[in-house]
Amino acid sequence: MHLPAQLLAPWISVIAALLGTAAFAVALWRARWPALRAEPWRTHLVAGGAIACLLLWLMNIHLVDGLVLHFLGITTLTLVVGWSFTVLAATSALTGLYTLQGLDWAGFGMSTCLTVLVPATVTRLLARALYRPSLRHPFVYILGAGFAGGGLVVLVLALLALPLFWASGLTVYLANLAEWWPLLFLVMFSEGFINGMCVSALAIFHPDWLKTFDDTFYLDDR
């Protein structure tokens, strides 16, 4: 989701920029670079994920006063390459999006938080919550982290948008949300379906591509 910086309170844009910069720095520090050197083919997953996100984000919907919505795909990317490389790859893709579409760079920090940081963090926390012996089944991973994860990301973003709009005095946005809230479930379903199908295909045909999918844990009989 992209919001023009002029619609937001200045202090919100500053905080968002600081959070985005801090997250990128943490991702650079925590990323397992030796793993990429040991298995160079994973570099293609990171680069391919960035390109896929860019192409997906180019297909967007423009709403009132510059508000732009698009599918995210961050759930799948996080499950494939992990939180750190998702932040790095998706931030690079977002940079490409801003460059190609000539967007106002003052809003880059907020876009990074809403499009990259929050979805990646929610997905990672959900995947960790599902990784427990009582939930040891591949369908729990696919349905929970993939399908439900994509929908949960949209719900969390919608809930975060409410105080964000209120703090910025965007009463028009809040009024529109009161009218359009049923569309939230349609967006949640669409995001969940796209990510769920991608995760299902990868778990079946290329489980080794999914960094967060432990095939020994989910598939071995014990």
Residue 68 has pLDDT above 80, yes or no: no
* Class of the CATH-defined domain 5-219: mainly alpha
Give the lowest-confidence range in 9-13, 62-66, 70-74, 194-198. 62-66
Q: Tell me: the pLDDT tens digits for 136-170?
A: 888 889 999 999 999 999 999 989 988 888 887 77
Residue 66 has pLDDT above 60, yes or no: no
pLDDT band at 213 (very low <50, low <70, confident <90, very high): confident
Q: State how far the Cα of 69 lies from the Cα of 60, in Å rounded to an integer.
A: 6
Reported pTM: 0.90
What residues form DSSP beta bridges with 69?
61
Burial of 86 (C-beta count, 10 Å sphere; 0-12/13-18/19+): buried
Strand, helix or coil for residue 59: coil
Find the DSSP H helices in the chain: 10-30, 33-38, 41-58, 74-101, 108-112, 118-130, 138-140, 149-167, 171-180, 182-205, 215-219
Give me the residue spans of the domains in the chain.
Answer: 5-219
Residue 46 has pLDDT above 90, yes or no: yes
